[in-house]
Amino acid sequence: MLRLERRPQPSRTWVWAAPVLAVVLTMLAGGVLFAALGKDPVAAIRLIFWDPLFSQQFAAFSRPQLLVKAAPLILIAIGLAIGFRANIWNIGAEGQYIIGALCAAAVALAFFPAGPVDARFLGLEFTMDSAPSRWWLFPLMIAAGAAGGFVWAMIPAILKTRFNTNEILVSLLLVYVAEKLLAAAALGWLRNPEGAGFPGSRNLSRFPEAANLELIPNTGMHWGVVAAIIAVIFGYILLHRHMLGFQVQLAGQAPRAARFAGVAPARLVIFCLGLSGLMAGMAGMFEVTGPARMITIDFNAGYGFVAIIVAFLGRLHPVGIVLAGFLMALTYIGGELAQFTLGLPSAAIQVFQGMLLFFLLALDMLSNYRIRLTAREVTP
Amino acid sequence: MIASMDLSSINPVVLAAALMVAATPILLAAIGELVVEKAGVLNLGVEGMMITGAVTGFAFAVATGNPYLGMLAAVAGGAGLALIFALLTQYLMANQVATGLALTLFGLGFSALLGQGYSGVSPPRTPRMDFGPLADIPVLGPILFRHDPLVYVSLIIVAAVWWFLRYSRAGRILRAVGENHDAAHALGYRVRLVRVAAIAFGGACAGLGGAYLSLIRVPQWTEGMTAGAGWIALALVVFAAWRPWRALLGAYLFGGIVTLQLTLQAAGWRIPVEYLAMAPYLVTIVVLVIMSSGRARRTLSAPGSLGRPFHAAG
For residue A52, give the CATH number of its domain. Answer: 1.10.3470
pLDDT value, residue B2: 42
Confidence category of residue B12, pLDDT binned at 50, 70, 90: confident
Q: What are the beta bridge partners of residue A373?
A: A2
Phi, psi of B42 (to 5 degrees): -105, 105
One domain, residues A338 and A279? yes
Among the ranges given (A255-259, B55-59, B67-71), the one the predictor scored with the smallest mean pLDDT: A255-259
Report the SS3 class of residue A372.
strand
8 A C-beta contact, residue B56 and residue B229: no
Q: Is residue A15 part of a domain?
A: yes
pLDDT digits (tens, 9 = 90+) for B241-292: 899 999 999 999 989 988 888 888 777 777 788 888 898 899 999 988 988 8
CA angle (B123 as vertex; B121, B127 as ends), nearest 5: 155
- What is the spatial distance between Cα A53 and Cα A49, in angstroms, rounded to a whole number? 8
One domain, residues A25 and A157? no
Contacts for B244 with CB less than 8 Å, ≥ 6 apart: B31, B34, B158, B159, B161, B162, B165
Mean pLDDT of A74-85: 94
Contact A163 B95 (CB under 8 A): no
Closest residue of chain B to A353, computed from CA coordinates: B106
Q: Is residue B192 part of a domain?
A: yes
Q: For residue A371, is pLDDT > 90?
A: no
Report the SS3 class of residue B129.
coil
Q: For residue A116, is pLDDT > 60?
A: no
Residue numbers of A between 267 and 306 with CB closer than 8 Å to B: 305
Q: For residue B4, is pLDDT > 70?
A: no
- What is the spatial distance between Cα B268 and Cα B72, in angstroms, rounded to a whole number? 39
Mean pLDDT of B43-68: 95
Q: Is residue B1 part of a domain?
A: no
Q: Is residue B75 part of a domain?
A: yes
Contacts for B116 with CB less than 8 Å, ≥ 6 apart: A345, A347
Q: For residue A203, is pLDDT > 90?
A: no
**Which residues constitute the domain of residue B26?**
9-133+142-299
Among the ranges given (B45-59, B86-100, B123-137, B153-167), the one the predictor scored with the smallest mean pLDDT: B123-137
Q: For residue A377, is pLDDT > 80?
A: no
One domain, residues A246 and A294? yes
Among the ranges given (A211-220, A290-299, B85-94, B160-169), the one the predictor scored with the smallest mean pLDDT: A211-220
Which of A128-142, A197-211, A288-302, A317-331 has the largest mean confidence? A317-331
Q: Is residue B198 part of a domain?
A: yes
Q: What are the beta bridge partners of residue A369?
A: A6
Q: For residue A129, is pLDDT > 70?
A: no
Q: For residue A222, is pLDDT > 60?
A: yes
8 A C-beta contact, residue A76 and residue A370: no
First-to-last CA distance in chain B?
62
Q: How far is A170 from chain B (nearest CA, A)?
A: 6
- What is the spatial distance between Cα B71 and Cα A344, in angstroms, rounded to a whole number? 29
Higher pLDDT, A118 or B240: B240
Q: For residue A29, is pLDDT > 50?
A: yes
Largest CA distance in chain B: 70
Q: For residue A367, is pLDDT > 80?
A: yes
Phi, psi of A130 (to 5 degrees): -70, -35
Residue type, A119: A
Q: How far is B101 from chain A (nearest CA, A)?
A: 9
Phi, psi of B303 (to 5 degrees): -55, 140
Q: Closest Cα to residue A225, out of A53, A64, A68?
A: A68
Taking the Cβ of residue A4 and every Cβ of chain B, the question of whether any pair is shorter than 8 Å is answered with yes
Domains held by chain A: number:
2
Taking the Cβ of residue A355 and every Cβ of chain B, the question of whether any pair is shorter than 8 Å is answered with yes
Closest residue of chain A to B292, computed from CA coordinates: A165
One domain, residues A208 and A313? yes
- What is the spatial distance between Cα A201 and Cα A193, in angstroms, rounded to a whole number? 8
Mean pLDDT of B85-90: 94
Q: What are the beta bridge partners of residue A221?
A: A216
Contact B106 A351 (CB under 8 A): yes
Mean pLDDT of A278-293: 91
Q: Is residue A118 part of a domain?
A: no
Higher pLDDT, B273 or A282: A282
Contact B292 A89 (CB under 8 A): no
Q: How far is A299 from chain B (nearest CA, A)?
A: 16
- What is the spatial distance between Cα B202 and Cα B200, in angstroms, rounded to a whole number? 5
- What is the spatial distance between Cα A355 and Cα B84, in angstroms, rounded to a whole number? 11
Quote the mean pLDDT of chain B.
88
Contacts for A9 with CB less than 8 Å, ≥ 6 apart: none
Q: How many C-beta atoms surround the C-beta of residue B302 within 10 A?
A: 18
pLDDT value, residue A370: 83
8 A C-beta contact, residue A250 and residue A263: yes
User: What is the distance, to the nearest Å, from the Cα of residue A23 to the centroid of all Cα atoms in its chain?
Assistant: 19
Contacts for B112 with CB less than 8 Å, ≥ 6 apart: A345, A346, A347, A350, B223, B224
pLDDT digits (tens, 9 = 90+) for B179-189: 999 899 999 99
One domain, residues A63 and A75? yes
8 A C-beta contact, residue A103 and residue A148: yes
Phi, psi of A240 (to 5 degrees): -115, -10
Q: Is residue B174 part of a domain?
A: yes
What counts of helices (H) and strands (E) characterise chain A? 15, 2
Confidence category of residue A245, pLDDT binned at 50, 70, 90: confident
Candidates B106, B112, B277; nearest CB to A355: B106
Which of A212-221, A294-303, B204-213, B258-267 has the largest mean confidence? B204-213
C-alpha dihedral, A263 to A265 to A268 to A269, nearest 10°: 170
Report the SS3 class of residue B9.
helix
Q: For chain A, give percent helix, strand, coil, nearest 5.
A: 65, 5, 30
pLDDT value, residue B5: 43
Confidence category of residue B131, pLDDT binned at 50, 70, 90: confident
Quote the mean pLDDT of chain A.
85
Contact A354 B228 (CB under 8 A): no
- What is the spatial distance between Cα A81 and Cα A234, in angstroms, rounded to a whole number? 13
Show residues of chain B in contact with A374, CB under 8 Å: none
Closest residue of chain A to B272, computed from CA coordinates: A184
> Which residue out of B92, B239, B242, B291 would a mutagenesis test of the A interface target, given it has the greatest number of A Cβ atoms within 10 Å?
B92
Confidence category of residue A379, pLDDT binned at 50, 70, 90: low
CATH number at residue B196: 1.10.3470
Mean pLDDT of A134-151: 91
pLDDT value, residue A126: 53
Confidence category of residue B296, pLDDT binned at 50, 70, 90: low
**How many contacts, defined by CB atoms under 8 Å, are there between A and B?**
140
Show residues of chain A in contact with B288, CB under 8 Å: 159, 165-166, 169-170
What counts of helices (H) and strands (E) characterise chain B? 13, 0
Q: Is residue B310 part of a domain?
A: no
One domain, residues A218 and A93? yes
Q: Is residue A126 part of a domain?
A: no
Q: Is residue B314 part of a domain?
A: no
**Which residues constitute the domain of residue A25?**
1-37+349-380
Q: Closest Cα to residue A66, out of A81, A82, A54?
A: A54
One domain, residues A179 and A256? yes
One domain, residues A33 and A43? no
pLDDT value, residue B3: 43
Closest residue of chain B to A349, computed from CA coordinates: B109
Q: Is residue A337 part of a domain?
A: yes
Residue numbers of A between 193 and 222 with CB closer than 8 Å to B: none
Contact B99 A361 (CB under 8 A): yes
What is the per-residue burial (b if ≥16 Cβ within 10 Å, else e) of B158-171?
A: beebbebbeeeeeb
One domain, residues A53 and A8? no
10 Å CB burial of residue A340 (0-12, 13-18, 19+) is exposed
Q: Strands A369-373 and A2-6, how do they pair?
A: antiparallel
> Which residue out of B292, B297, B306 would a mutagenesis test of the A interface target, given it has the greatest number of A Cβ atoms within 10 Å?
B292
- What is the spatial distance between Cα A70 and Cα A322, in angstroms, rounded to a whole number? 8
One domain, residues A175 and A71? yes
- What is the spatial distance between Cα A108 and Cα B18, in angstroms, rounded to a whole number? 44
8 A C-beta contact, residue A75 and residue A227: yes
Q: For residue A124, is pLDDT > 80?
A: no
Contact B116 A177 (CB under 8 A): no
E strand spans, chain A: 2-6, 369-373
Q: Is residue B311 part of a domain?
A: no
What percent of chain B has a predicted confidence (pLDDT) above 70? 94
Q: For residue A317, is pLDDT > 60?
A: yes
Q: Residues, chain A, total?
A: 380
Domains held by chain B: number:
1
Q: How far is B311 from chain A (nearest CA, A)?
A: 9
Closest residue of chain A to B95, computed from CA coordinates: A361
Mean pLDDT of A165-186: 92
pLDDT value, residue B9: 59
8 A C-beta contact, residue A149 and residue A231: no
Q: For residue A133, is pLDDT > 80?
A: no
One domain, residues A17 and A42? no
Among the ranges given (A6-10, A286-290, B75-79), the one the predictor scored with the smallest mean pLDDT: A6-10
CA angle (B213 as vertex; B210, B219 as ends), nearest 5: 140
Residue numbers of B between 144 and 203 with CB closer than 8 Å to A: none
Q: Is residue A201 part of a domain?
A: yes
One domain, residues A214 and A357? no
8 A C-beta contact, residue B117 and residue B229: no
Cα–Cα distances in angstroms (integers) from residue B137 to residues B141, B146, B151, in the given order: 5, 11, 19
Q: Closest Cα to residue A96, out of A267, A308, A350?
A: A308
Taking the Cβ of residue B17 and every Cβ of chain A, the question of whether any pair is shorter than 8 Å is answered with no
Contact A180 B284 (CB under 8 A): no
